[in-house]
Every structure is written in structure tokens, then in C-alpha cells.
Amino acid sequence: MSARVRRFAASLLVVAALAAAVPAGAAVPARRLPPSTRDELAAIFDAKVRDLGFQTSRALLQNLDTYAADPNGRHLAIYLEPIDDEFTDAEYVASFDDVAKVFLPLAFKRWKGLKSFDVCLEPLPSEDESEAPPPITQLLVTRRGVRVLDWKDATLADMLVAADEHKATEDAEADVYVYFHDRLDTVPELRQARTESAQR
């Protein structure tokens, strides 16, 4: 056996030993994850989303297997609700890409332990008094999915194209997922974005 082959074999043993020394479910260092409470996360993002007419209603880290709240979770979920008592369906659509740019790609660059992220725009409190109302819109992106767009300049049509190209398959979950409540289907800006994305 040559010296080169022996060195290569030795390096494989070192890699295997390191992998065995770190359990699959090992905790991620806290500095690599965002805070796990609504107040801490709101302190980071509320100033930015307020400029768009929203405030943080809920925010948490979730376990990727169960999506239950977990301070060591690798999925960050943010829920925003309008500040004003009146917020139109057209405003929900118009806000979608601007809200996305507040968090992306920042969340993944800032917290290296995150594997996925989603942000939901919720209905006005007067529309649904439940503790966890169904969202009006949702954008979910994985660490791999965040690389498929230049989020600074991405349009709604760009995000729809990315969601279609990176949707869930039998073997993998979606890397980019976009959702709009059916009530928004008549908003001209959404219809135009869908038409544009379908033509690409």
C-alpha cells in the first residue's frame, strides 16, 4: 500500500470517528439558532415589519419532525397580523414579497443552525378570534431553497416560479412553498403574477 493510499485511509477513519462522536440528535449550539420566544423574535423583526403594516402575533422555533414548539428546533415560524383595523385583500398580496425580503436570506445567514423557515400573514383579529387562525398567506423556504432566488429583487412571480420548480415530491418536501387563501384569487395583482409565472 502506497503512502498516499495509507494517508487517505487514515483520513477516512478520522471522519468516521468524528461522525460517531456526534449523535444524530445532538443539540445545536444556541448561538446558531434564533431566540425561541415570541417577544425575543418580535424585538428583532417588529421594527421592520411595522413599516409594512404588520406586527408579530406569534413566533417560535419548532421541531422538524413534529412541528411542536421546541427551543432547540430547527424550523423558525413567524406569524404576522395587520396593525390597522382595515387591511384589504389587495394589501395582503402586495405585502407578500416585501415581507419575504425582511426575513430572507437574513434568517439563514444569521442563524446557521436553521434548516427551514416560514412566515404567515394572518387575518385581522376581528375576522378570526381563534388562538391560531388559518393564514391568509404563507411562504416556506428551506436552507436549500433560499439559494434559488435573489430575494432582494425577487418578485411575486419569481417566487411562484420557484415554488413550482421546487415543490414537494415523493422523495422530498418542498424547498419553496407559496400559499394564498382562496379569497385572494380575485385580486388582480395575484392573477397577473400567476399568469406571468405560468408563461415562463
Give domain status of residue 134, yes or no: yes
Decide if 59 is inside a domain. yes
pLDDT of residue 132: 84
Q: What is the pLDDT of residue 30?
A: 59
Report the candidate in 110, 114, 127, 104 with the shortest Cα–Cα distance to residue 181. Answer: 127
Q: What is the pLDDT along the chain (200 residues), one digit of tens a residue?
A: 444 334 334 333 333 333 333 344 456 665 699 999 999 999 999 999 999 999 999 999 999 999 899 999 999 999 999 999 899 999 999 999 999 999 999 999 999 999 999 999 999 987 777 778 899 999 999 999 999 999 999 999 999 999 999 999 988 999 999 999 999 999 999 999 999 999 99
Judge whether 80 and 103 are in contact, CB under 8 Å: no
Q: Give the CA distances from residue 176 to residues 16, 29, 49, 109, 162, in Å, rounded to whole numbers and listed in that order.
A: 33, 26, 21, 17, 6
4 within a domain of the structure (yes/no): no
Per the domain annotation, does 2 fall within a domain?
no
Residue 3 lies in a domain: no
DSSP calls for 83-124? SSS---HHHHHHHHHHHHHHHTTHHHHH-TT--EEEEEEPPP
- Summarised one tens digit per residue, pLDDT across range 174-200 is 999 999 999 999 999 999 999 999 999
Q: State the pLDDT at residue 130.
A: 75
**Is 17 among the domain residues?**
no
Instruction: Match 415570541 to its residue by C-alpha cell.
Output: 38
**What is the predicted pLDDT for the residue at 20?**
38
Q: What is the pLDDT of residue 27?
A: 60
Would you state the pLDDT for residue 1?
Answer: 45
- Indicate the SS3 state at residue 192: helix
pLDDT at 126: 78
> Rounded to whole angstroms, how far apart are CA atoms 36 and 66?
16
Could you tell me the end-to-end alpha-carbon distance of the chain, in angstroms, rounded to an integer? Answer: 55
Strand ranges (DSSP E) for the chain? 54-62, 75-82, 116-121, 137-142, 176-180
The answer to whether position 159 is within a domain reads yes
Residues spanned by the domain of 59: 29-198
**Number of folded domains that form the chain:** 1
The secondary structure element, H or E, covering residue 161 is helix 156-165
